Amino acid sequence: MPETIIIGSDHAGFDLKERVKEWLEERGFAVEDVGSQSPEQVDYPHYAHLVADAIGSGRRARGIVICGTGIGVSIAANRHAGVRAAVVCGEQTARFAREHNDANVLALGGRTLDPTLAERILDVWLKTPFAGGRHARRVAMIEKDGAES
């Protein structure tokens, strides 16, 4: 059974979301699209929260959120316990987001990323494992109740 990636975007991320969905499906992933379903203006927090709810509850392991820059959706998604959303702008930041931070939500900018670069980012983010080790202690500290005194 293929892994299902949950994805959501606002109007500014709609075109990139559609391209990302196609890219994922071509590589054997199932995609749960929570919207938006058109480039008509909508509010990005709604879609970021839908994706983050699925990740935070454990219903989905990984998700993608897209708005104009990736910043707004990442801020909204990171309000949820258990979500580690990272705005990624290149292959190196995609690698570090996974390797060092165990990012389970990828935040992309529909107005700031070339679609071909977004596909390379996706490839790296999906293939890079979490390094664990010293990074695991730090990731555990991200949750408010996991912070050391």
Residues identified as active-site: 67, 100
C-alpha span between 15 and 110 (Å, rounded): 7
- The phi, psi pair for 38, rounded to 5°, reads -160, 170
